[in-house]
């Protein structure tokens, strides 16, 4: 019997066995960007797996809002479950509501100022260590920064400082491999290659660390003001007995989800934001003028954020152009239709925020970095989806926005960051969600001298 999804146009350039896997490996963003030209729905082959890619904003809305029919799953989340188990970011619909209720207190607005203090300390650790004229790998430095933030906000002082670098290295190993594993056949992912061995070793080390810290906290009932304390103290009013609180396995999954998702997404946003500012000197000058005017010293603090509209617009525009969650996959839980096409249960469906964000009918000059498009405008939550949408929208979106804005403002106040090359970055799968080996050079700024130079007559 013919599968009804075969009526959906097959994207061009599929090759035997791998399908479109090579296109995803070498030019995923370029490949996805061509799909809207072929229709509202496209069929893509990842090896033997057909994936229905949604290119139309209204159809994307349908998929993201109906999280019962279009359940969390597909190749991206299958790979993520290898690492994060059934945490809030990867669990199916049947488990999500309970996990959301238990996790929500950790992200109440009243806890953000406390988290911001840990963010500021971590930002200081990294950007305070740079030397004038130093060459840095921007993505690696931003990952170092965001991993420190994730560890400190999750564990506060419980985590040994000398172990942070190992955690950062393990996260980098996982991030480098997870998208590659998404498009390669499962048999390749099981081979005992050096890359696969490093991936599993990193995963096992990180889950072991989380388990040990949770075990230590079981003997300490104090509220440490961190994410782990909130998760361990949370109680679900709709559950009974042993299910009222999270068990150790659930806690490990949540810890890993928040550490990995929080570090990866914000590092991506900061890397692309600094790269884009380095290529747009007029916008960089606006940011520098703002931070020089608003900040009482060269460190951004939580109370400064409402007075940094230019920084906030840069973060928003970066999330539009380079959303960290560039591909969101779902699995149809029961026979349904989409755009009049029958989709049998088990069909894999994908929405790309990158594709939606670059549609010319939504955003004028959509491929250009134009933060000023957000002056007097708020993002439409159904057309601007860097954090997803509906019930599965990222629970830590405000946490990430605060972190990105604090870090970007502090870096802009202290440093001038410029690309080593004028050539645009080529975005292969190895460069997503952000290029880890992007070479930049940093020069220490003197805001007073800069202000004096620009105020001279003539």
Residue identified by tokens 């564990």 is 155
Residue 8 has pLDDT above 70, yes or no: yes
Tokens of 212: 């040990």
Identify the pLDDT of residue 458. 46
The H or E element spanning position 419 is: strand 415-419
284-296: pLDDT as tens digits: 999 999 999 999 9
Structural contact between residues 430 and 176, judged by C-beta atoms closer than 8 angstroms: yes
Nearest to 396 by CA among 109, 107, 154: 107
Instruction: Please determine, for residue 448, whether its predicted confidence score (pLDDT) is greater than 70.
Output: no
E strand or H helix that includes residue 308: none
Q: What is the pLDDT of residue 341?
A: 95
SS3 363: coil
What average pLDDT does the segment 150-159 reach? 81
Q: Which two tokens stand for residue 132?
A: 């004038």
Structure tokens of 447? 């805001």
* 175-209 pLDDT per residue, tens: 778 777 877 777 888 889 998 999 999 989 988 88
| pLDDT, tens digit (0-9, with 9 covering 90-100), for 81-109 | 887 788 898 899 999 998 999 999 899 99
pLDDT for 295: 97
pTM of the model: 0.90
What domains lie within the chain, and their CATH numbers?
4-455 (1.10.630.10)
Better-scored residue on pLDDT, 182 or 440: 440
Length of the chain counted residue by residue? 458
- Residue 353: pLDDT above 60? yes
Residue 52 has pLDDT above 50, yes or no: yes
Burial grade of 450 (CB within 10 A; 0-12, 13-18, 19 or more):
middle
Longest dimension (CA), the chain: 79
* pLDDT reported for residue 77: 80
Query: What pLDDT sits at residue 453?
Result: 47
The average confidence (pLDDT) of the chain is: 88
């Amino acid at each position: 019997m013919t599968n009804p999804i075969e009526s959906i146009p097959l994207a061009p350039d599929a090759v035997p066995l791998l399908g479109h896997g090579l296109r995803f490996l070498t030019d995923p963003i370029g490949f996805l960007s061509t799909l809207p030209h072929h229709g509202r729905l496209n069929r893509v082959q990842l090896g033997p797996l057909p994936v229905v890619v949604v290119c139309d904003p209204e159809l994307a809305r349908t998929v993201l809002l109906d999280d019962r029919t279009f359940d969390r799953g597909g190749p991206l989340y299958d790979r993520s479950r290898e690492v994060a188990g059934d945490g809030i970011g990867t669990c199916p619909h049947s488990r999500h509501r309970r996990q959301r209720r238990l996790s929500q207190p950790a992200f109440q607005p009243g806890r953000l100022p406390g988290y911001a203090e840990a963010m500021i300390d971590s930002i200081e650790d990294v950007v305070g260590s740079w030397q004038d004229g130093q060459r840095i790998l921007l993505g690696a430095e931003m990952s170092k920064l965001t991993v420190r933030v994730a560890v400190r906000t999750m564990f506060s002082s419980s985590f040994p400082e000398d172990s942070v670098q190992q955690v950062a290295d393990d996260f980098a190993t996982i991030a480098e491999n997870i998208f590659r594993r998404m498009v390669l056949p499962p048999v390749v992912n099981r081979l005992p290659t050096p890359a696969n061995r490093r991936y599993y070793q990193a995963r096992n080390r990180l889950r072991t660390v989380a388990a040990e810290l949770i075990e230590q906290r079981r003997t300490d009932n104090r509220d440490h003001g961190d994410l782990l304390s909130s998760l361990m103290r949370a109680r679900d009013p709709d559950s009974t007995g042993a299910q009222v609180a999270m068990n150790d396995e659930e806690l490990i999954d949540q810890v890993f989800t928040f550490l990995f998702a929080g570090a990866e997404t914000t590092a991506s946003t900061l890397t692309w934001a600094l790269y884009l500012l380095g290529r747009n000197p007029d916008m960089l000058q606006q940011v520098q003028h703002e931070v020089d005017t608003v900040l009482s010293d060269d460190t951004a603090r939580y109370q400064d954020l409402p007075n940094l509209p230019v920084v906030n617009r840069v973060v928003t525009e970066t999330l539009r152009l380079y959303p960290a969650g560039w591909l969101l996959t779902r699995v149809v839980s029961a026979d349904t239709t989409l755009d009049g096409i029958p989709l049998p249960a088990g069909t894999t469906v994908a929405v790309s925020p990158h594709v939606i964000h670059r549609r010319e009918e939504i955003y004028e000059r959509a491929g250009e970095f134009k933060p000023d498009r957000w002056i007097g405008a708020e993002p439409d939550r159904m057309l601007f989806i860097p954090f997803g949408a509906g019930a599965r929208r990222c629970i830590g979106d405000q946490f990430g926005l605060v972190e990105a804005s604090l870090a970007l403002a502090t870096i802009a106040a202290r440093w001038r960051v410029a690309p080593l090359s004028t050539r645009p970055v080529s975005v292969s799968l190895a460069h997503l969600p952000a290029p880890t080996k992007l070479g930049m050079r940093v020069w220490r700024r003197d805001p007073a001298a800069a202000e004096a130079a620009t105020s001279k007559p003539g």
